[in-house]
Amino acid sequence: MSNFKLKATYAPVKAYYDTLERFGRGKFDNEGNVRRAFESLLEKCARSFEWMVVPEYQIQRTGKNPLRVDAAVLDALNIPLCCRGRGTVSR
């Protein structure tokens, strides 16, 4: 598996923070807008590894209802590498 290191100086990260700042100035910093901005950041970062971002990803659980997260990053075999939901990013 490739090692991915994200730095604050990376252009997509800068664009993400610029977008959040603009949303905040215009009072548009609601959950839906922030989520979309984060998905965009994930998509730009995942593209270089040929990973795929799936919004509203469902995690199947035995004996329980599926868990739906805001987004998941999948590798070429569709294996989830990380998920984002309710303000967290996990692996």
For the stretch 47-80, pLDDT in tens is 888 999 999 899 888 999 988 888 889 999 999 8
Give dist(CA 91, CA 73) in Å, integer: 10
Give dist(CA 33, CA 56) in Å, integer: 15
pLDDT at residue 85 greater than cutoff 70:
no
At 19 the pLDDT is 92
pLDDT tens figures, 5-55: 778 888 999 999 999 999 989 888 888 888 889 899 989 989 888 999 999
Residue type at 22 in one-letter notation: R
At 34 the pLDDT is 87
- Burial class from Cβ neighbours inside 10 Å (0-12, 13-18, 19+) for residue 6 reads exposed
